[in-house]
């Protein structure tokens, strides 16, 4: 009897129906991820933070090679919204499969340029061209609080948190004072920043219900009054430089503000939704990378008189995490599709996607390491690095519990308006 043929798969797993363009992009980015990102990511992981990001380090080789790929935000902009979301899903998850820290460095690196392009301001686009960027939104005293969009999510009577980095608008000028958190991706070495901070437009930092006025400003980071912290030493995502940016009476023209009092809430929401979607795709890529390592290892290691992969317990464990890998990918693509096509997308939904994809990814990586036995704990195999990178992602771009709390809040308010009551 002839057995049923094995299933059709693509590099990304159980996928079908990709266009020729999508397949070609996936192949190209996977090659780049395998040949450039993985070796550089592993090398940076073992370097000390004070050497890893200096001029001449492999970190900059990665960024030069990434720039020459030509897959930045301007390249995808030519596609319609749904096709762009599909293409981003394919590209970003392959970058996450290569190295999650470098993938974020590339993504955060583009945030000022994305804002500049959306503003249509030539001066800002030129300011960002060829420069490594960052997105400075969190501060020492304003972490999760910066992601709270509604007054009735706060403790009763509490006002919104203004934080430690503030802009004062006066006439044609903005004066910026304070510091970002140490967590700003690329912050310690970036050449340009997209600031996402509290603003005083002349009548204080709060509106009538206690929400904080905000602004987005594109700022070159070589201005007088700007200083940096040291690159942060941390458990995972060590290929991603992070560090503080200090502002001491930094004066910039008002025209560099790409979002102010009235359009800030929606632009802040959309920038965060973009980041949450990207984090979901990166989780899909990292989960697959860990799963593939475990799959290959169990097809080589013999215990119990057989290959591990031939033992039914192992097949069950691989089946369990393999299904999660597919579910993470599907959720990430769903979030991306909804966000690109909905008449009213919402960052609390992308936040839920980020939390779900990243939490499930951690369970996949953990079980993949478990399948290696003791060897999984050694630096001989890259699985231990993936676990450390995955751990950092449970807090990055919003701590997972808080993100799910926001999604829960959103659904309770939709229900009060009638949704889910039929």
Ligand X SMILES: Cc1cc2nc3c(=O)[nH]c(=O)nc-3n(C[C@H](O)[C@H](O)[C@H](O)COP(=O)(O)OP(=O)(O)OC[C@H]3O[C@@H](n4cnc5c(N)ncnc54)[C@H](O)[C@@H]3O)c2cc1C
Binding site for ligand X (CB under 6 A): 108, 135-138, 143-144, 181, 183-185, 237, 392, 395-399, 401-402
Give 183 or 247: the residue with its C-beta nearer to ligand X.
183
Q: Provide the minimum distance between the beta carbon of 356 and ligand X in the complex, in angstroms, as a whole number.
A: 16
Residues 368, 293: contact at Cβ < 8 Å?
Answer: yes
Residue 238 main-chain phi, psi, to 5 deg: -75, -15
Min dist CB 253 to ligand X, Å, is 23
For ligand X, give the closer residue by CB, 108 or 128: 108
Nearest to 390 by CA among 350, 352, 358, 351: 358
Q: Which residue is nearest to ligand X (CB)?
A: 143
Q: Cβ 170 to ligand X, closest distance in Å? A: 25
Q: Which is nearer to ligand X, 181 or 298 (CB)?
A: 181
The three-state (H, E, C) secondary structure of the chain, written as one string: CCCCCCCCCECCECCCCCCHHHHHHHHHHHHHHHHHHHHHHHHHHHCCHHHHCCCCCHHHHHHHHHHHHCCCHHHHCCCCHHHHHHHHHHHHHHHHHHCHHHHHHHHHHCHHHHHHHHHCCHHHHHHHCCCCEEEECCECCECHHHHCCCHHHCCCCCCCCCCCEEEEEECCEEEEEEECCCCCECCCCCCEEEEEEEEECCCCCECCCCCECEEEEEEECCCCCEEECCCCCCCCCCCCCECCEEEEEEEEEHHHEEECCCCHHHHHHHHHHHHHHHHHHHHHHHHHHHHHHHHHHHCCCEECCEEHHHCHHHHHHHHHHHHHHHHHHHHHHHHHHHHHHCCCCCHHHHHHHHHHHHHHHHHHHHHHHHHCHHHHHCCCCCHHHHHHHHHHCCCCCCCHHHHHHHHHHHHHHHHHCCCCCC
Show Cβ contacts of residue 416 under 8 Å, excluding neighbours closer than 6 positions: none
Tokens of 152: 């009735």
Q: How far is the CB of 313 from ligand X (least distance, A)?
A: 35
Q: Decide whether 86 or 142 has the Cβ nearer to ligand X.
A: 142
Closer to ligand X by Cβ: residue 86 or 238:
238
The rounded distance, in Å, linking the Cα atoms of 114 and 285 is: 23
**Closest separation between CB of residue 315 and ligand X, Å?**
34
Quote the least distance from Cβ 392 to ligand X, whole Å: 4
Residue 65 C-beta: closest distance to ligand X, Å: 22
Closer to ligand X by CB, 44 or 309: give it. Answer: 44
Report in angstroms how near the CB of residue 247 gets to ligand X at its nearest.
14
Choice between 57 and 394, CB closer to ligand X: 394
Minimum distance from residue 163 beta carbon to ligand X (Å): 10
Tell me the closest approach of the beta carbon of residue 231 to ligand X, in angstroms.
13
Nearer to ligand X, 237 or 288 (CB): 237
Nearer to ligand X, 402 or 411 (CB): 402
Which of 58/398 has CB closer to ligand X?
Answer: 398
């Amino acid at each position: 009897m002839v057995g049923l043929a094995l299933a059709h798969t693509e590099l990304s797993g159980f996928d079908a129906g990709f266009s020729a363009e999508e397949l070609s992009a996936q192949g190209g980015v996977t090659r780049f991820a395998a040949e450039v990102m993985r070796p550089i990511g592993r090398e940076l992981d073992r370097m000390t933070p004070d050497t890893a990001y200096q001029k001449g380090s492999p970190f900059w080789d990665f960024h030069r090679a990434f720039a020459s790929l030509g897959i930045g935000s301007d390249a995808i902009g030519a596609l319609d919204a749904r096709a762009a979301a599909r293409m981003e899903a394919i590209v970003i998850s392959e970058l996450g499969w290569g190295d999650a820290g470098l993938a974020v460095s590339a993504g955060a690196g583009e945030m000022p340029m994305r804002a500049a392009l959306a503003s249509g301001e030539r001066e800002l686009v030129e300011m960002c061209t060829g420069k490594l960027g960052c997105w400075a939104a969190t501060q020492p005293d304003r972490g999760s609080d910066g992601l709270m969009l509604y007054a009735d999510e706060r403790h009763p009577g509490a006002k919104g948190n203004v934080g430690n980095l503030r802009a004062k608008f006066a006439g044609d000028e903005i004066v910026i004072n304070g510091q970002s958190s140490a967590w700003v991706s690329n912050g310690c070495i970036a050449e340009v920043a997209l600031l996402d901070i509290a603003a005083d437009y002349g009548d204080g930092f709060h509106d009538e219900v206690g929400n904080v006025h905000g602004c987005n400003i594109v700022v070159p980071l070589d201005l007088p009054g700007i200083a940096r912290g040291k690159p942060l030493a941390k458990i995972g995502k060590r290929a991603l430089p992070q560090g503080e940016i200090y502002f001491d009476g930094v004066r910039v023209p008002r025209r560099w503000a790409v979002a102010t009092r009235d359009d800030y809430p929606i632009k802040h929401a959309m920038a965060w939704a973009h980041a949450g979607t990207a984090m979901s795709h990166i989780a899909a890529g990292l989960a697959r990378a860990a799963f593939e390592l475990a799959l290959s290892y169990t097809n080589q290691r013999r215990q119990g008189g057989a290959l591990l992969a031939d033992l039914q317990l192992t097949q069950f464990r691989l089946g369990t995490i393999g299904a999660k890998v597919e579910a993470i990918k599907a959720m990430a693509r769903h979030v991306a599709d909804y966000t690109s096509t909905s008449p009213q997308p919402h960052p609390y939904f992308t936040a839920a996607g980020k939390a779900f994809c990243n939490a499930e990814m951690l369970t996949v990586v953990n079980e993949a390491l478990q399948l290696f036995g003791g060897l999984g704990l050694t630096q001989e195999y890259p699985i231990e690095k993936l676990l450390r990178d995955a751990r950092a992602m449970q807090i990055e771009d919003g701590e997972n519990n808080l993100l799910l709390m926001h999604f829960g809040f959103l659904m309770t308010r939709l229900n009060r308006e009638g949704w889910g009551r039929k």
